[in-house]
């Protein structure tokens, strides 16, 4: 075990293998100046940056196989910043007083495992002893138990999916696997889109099957699961082959805490889809769909690599086919018309298909076209 000190105030109770001064100096941080200033936010930012640098260095040197930490709010912020700096798959376990609340800011889009400390991380007692012991055993098991067989020879595809586009992505994924690909599927709930864009942005994937850019609707129209303004841009920026469709651009997610009462004025009078007692969505109007078409066109026109767009004309998800709760043919037509007008067909290959998104024929066609682009 290797102990790293990322504090700035009292001396550590045990001798660390890597002192706070060594950790801080590597990124140009003066620990003594931080201690004198007594500015908590600045200290947490600086030592988080320093801890991240130390973790990356140790991992690159082959001295770090797993990382664990204990902390309250400050310690959690510092330690999880170090964890997020490490590659996907390196075991990361944070025992924290913050783990029972909103942990998104600590986990981000990484694979950090959060364990609630229940009691404060201040001394050893009958509760903390058991929890910390469980954490230590769990981290040790993750570190030594990595016997997963990874086939690095299989080209990697990133794919986007949401519940209402699952039939399409399932068929496409199976076809791509038959063709020899390893397919990573990302659930499009804001963090899923950010995770996918970040992975694609590393250049590690060979192609992108972006069936479900639904988070663009939340980004533009005030839904609760936006993935940020960079959604649908990483593959194009790097020139990675991409096949894109319009999955679930018909849906705006308006609540994951129960249907709001009263309904926000901008959504009043629209059809409501209740996924469960908490999750609710509504339909994008024709005017909003036209605006979404402009966003998609602008992003795809800027791509530097092979880009293909499939436009299903009879429904963008399970919710908007004929007779479904969010069916609106005028809205679908407004989206398609905006794309016809604004997509640069000298840069983007476009296929309008007279079926709905979840038609297996369409799913296989998208998978096979992506295979052609990747192997060209």
DSSP assignment of 15-35: --SB-HHHHHHTTT--HHHHH
CATH number of the structural domain spanning residue 169 = 3.40.50.12030
Q: Give yes or no: residues 309 and 193 share one domain.
A: yes
Q: Are residues 317 and 343 in the same domain?
A: yes
Return all residues near 139 (Cβ < 8 A) that are at least 6 apart: 66, 68, 91, 93
**In this structure, are 113 and 169 located in the same domain?**
no
Q: Is residue 79 part of a domain?
A: yes
pLDDT tens figures, 112-158: 999 999 988 777 888 889 999 999 999 999 988 755 445 567 999 99
Could you say which of 144, 178, 197 is where a domain stops?
A: 144
Mean per-residue pLDDT for 166-192? 95
Same domain? For 62 and 140 the reply is yes
Domain shared by 83 and 41, yes or no: yes
Final residue before a domain boundary, out of 144, 165, 180: 144
* Same structural domain, 316 and 208: yes
Which domain, by its residues, includes 209? Answer: 156-375
Same domain, 138 and 276: no
Instruction: Please tell me the predicted confidence (pLDDT) of residue 12.
Output: 84
What residues contact residue 352 under an 8 Å CB cut-off, 6+ apart? 311, 313, 336
Residue 291: in which H helix or E strand, if any? Answer: helix 286-301
At 323-376, the pLDDT tens digits run 999 999 999 999 999 999 999 999 999 999 999 999 999 999 999 999 999 999
Neighbours of 170 (CB within 10 A): 15
Q: Tell me the C-alpha to C-alpha distance, in Å, between residue 26 and each of 8, 31, 53, 199.
A: 15, 11, 7, 27
Give me 134's structure tokens: 């469980």
Query: Would residue 1 count as lying in a domain?
Result: no
- 129: CATH: 3.40.50.12020
Note the pLDDT tens digit of each residue in 22-63.
Answer: 998 888 989 889 888 888 899 999 999 999 999 999 999 999
pTM of the model: 0.79
Whether 90 and 230 share a structural domain: no
> Distance (Å, rounded) from C-alpha 114 to C-alpha 156?
28
Q: Read off the pLDDT band of 311 (50, 70, 90).
A: very high
Answer whether residue 7 is part of any domain. no
Is 178 found in the same domain as 122?
Answer: no
Whether the per-residue pLDDT at 107 is higher than 70: the answer is yes
In a domain, 14, yes or no: no
In this structure, the answer to whether residues 250 and 104 fall within a common structural domain is: no
Q: Could you tell me if residue 125 is inside a domain?
A: yes
| Domain presence at residue 251 | yes
Beta strand extents in 85-230 (DSSP E only)? 92-96, 113-116, 156-161, 182-187, 207-210
Q: Is 5 among the domain residues? A: no
Number of domains in the chain: 2
Mean pLDDT, the chain, integer: 92
* Confidence (pLDDT) at 208: 98
Mean pLDDT of the 217-221 span? 96
Name, of 80-89, 138-147, 231-240, the range with top average pLDDT: 231-240
Same domain, 27 and 138: yes
Task: Give the domain-ending residue among 144, 179, 206.
Answer: 144
Q: Are residues 244 and 357 in the same domain?
A: yes
In a domain, 49, yes or no: yes
């Amino acid at each position: 075990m290797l102990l790293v000190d990322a504090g700035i105030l009292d001396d550590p109770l045990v001798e660390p293998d890597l002192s706070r001064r060594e950790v801080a100096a590597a990124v140009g941080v003066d620990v003594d100046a931080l201690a004198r200033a007594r500015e908590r936010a600045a200290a947490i930012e600086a030592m988080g940056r320093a801890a991240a640098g130390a973790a990356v260095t140790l991992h690159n040197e082959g001295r770090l196989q797993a990382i664990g930490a204990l902390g309250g709010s400050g310690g959690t912020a510092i330690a999880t910043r170090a964890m997020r700096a490490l590659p996907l798959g390196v075991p990361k376990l944070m025992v924290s007083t913050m783990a029972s609340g909103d942990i998104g800011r600590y986990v981000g889009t990484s694979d950090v495992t959060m364990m609630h400390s229940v009691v404060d991380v201040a001394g050893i007692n009958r509760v903390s002893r058991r929890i910390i012991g469980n954490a230590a055993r769990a981290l040790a098991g993750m570190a030594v138990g990595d016997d997963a067989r990874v086939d690095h020879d299989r080209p990697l595809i990133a794919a986007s999916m949401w519940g209402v586009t699952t039939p399409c992505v399932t068929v496409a994924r199976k076809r791509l696997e038959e063709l020899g690909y390893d397919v990573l599927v990302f659930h499009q709930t804001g963090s899923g889109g950010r995770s996918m864009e970040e992975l694609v942005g590393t250049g590690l994937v060979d192609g992108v099957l972006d069936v479900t850019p639904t988070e663009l609707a939340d980004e533009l129209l005030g839904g609760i699961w936006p993935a940020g303004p960079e959604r649908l841009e990483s593959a194009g920026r790097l020139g990675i082959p991409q096949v894109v469709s319009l999955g679930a651009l018909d849906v705006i997610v308006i609540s994951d805490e129960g249907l709001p009462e009263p309904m926000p004025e901008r959504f009043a009078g629209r059809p409501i889809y209740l996924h469960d007692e908490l999750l609710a969505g509504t339909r994008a109007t024709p005017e909003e769909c036209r605006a979404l078409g402009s966003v998609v066109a602008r992003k795809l026109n800027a791509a530097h690599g092979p880009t293909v767009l499939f436009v299903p004309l009879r429904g963008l998800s399970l919710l908007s086919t004929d007779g479904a709760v969010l069916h609106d043919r005028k809205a679908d037509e407004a989206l398609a018309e905006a794309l016809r007008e604004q997509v640069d067909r000298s840069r983007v290959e476009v296929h309008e298909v007279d079926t709905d998104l979840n038609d297996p024929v369409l799913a296989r066609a998208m998978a096979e076209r992506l295979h052609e682009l990747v192997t060209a």
